[in-house]
Amino acid sequence: MAEILHRIGATTTPGTVYAALTTIDGLAGWWTVKTKDAGDDVIRFRFDAPHGEDGFDMKVLETVPAELVRWEVVDGPAEWIGTRIRFDLKQEDDFTVVLFKHEGWREPVEFMYHCSTKWATFLMSLKEFAETGSGHPAPDDVQISNWH
């Protein structure tokens, strides 16, 4: 099993980062503006694609205020379904550190290389959003390659 790991730190409180990970307005502020509560603890994330939309549905598995958020991917690209994502938060100096893990990839396919870099740029958007109230969610996200 392969996994994607990242670490960022935002100069704000753990509570502020936690809100950015657990509210629709927060998630829409750094990942994709098309974020919706789909009921039954599922959050629906959508992105504009060449022929319509694509995206991910995340089941919220666990939340611990200001400390932890865990999701499982219940719909989306085949490579993502069944994978799990976690955000661990902790305070260090003036920073809230986020340890990010996207685990359970069956194979390190080229799409996983892409998703790793894309997660990094979205986590930098999370940092910016948590620090300033304004990030770069899709469709205003950073283009990293021909796969966007």
User: Site residues (CB under 8 A) for a second copy?
Assistant: 2-9, 92-95, 97, 99-101, 108, 110, 112-114, 116-117, 120-121, 123-124, 127, 142, 144-147
Residues 6+ apart with CB under 8 A from 132: none
- How far apart are the C-alpha atoms of 140 and 78, rounded to whole Å? 25
Q: Are 87 and 100 in contact (CB under 8 A)?
A: yes
Which CB, 6 or 46, lies closer to a second copy?
Answer: 6
Residues 6+ apart with CB under 8 A from 49: none
CB of 146 to a second copy, least distance (A): 4
Which CB, 43 or 112, lies closer to a second copy?
Answer: 112
Q: Quick check: helix, strand or coil at residue 54?
A: strand
CB of 6 to a second copy, least distance (A): 4
CB of 36 to a second copy, least distance (A): 28
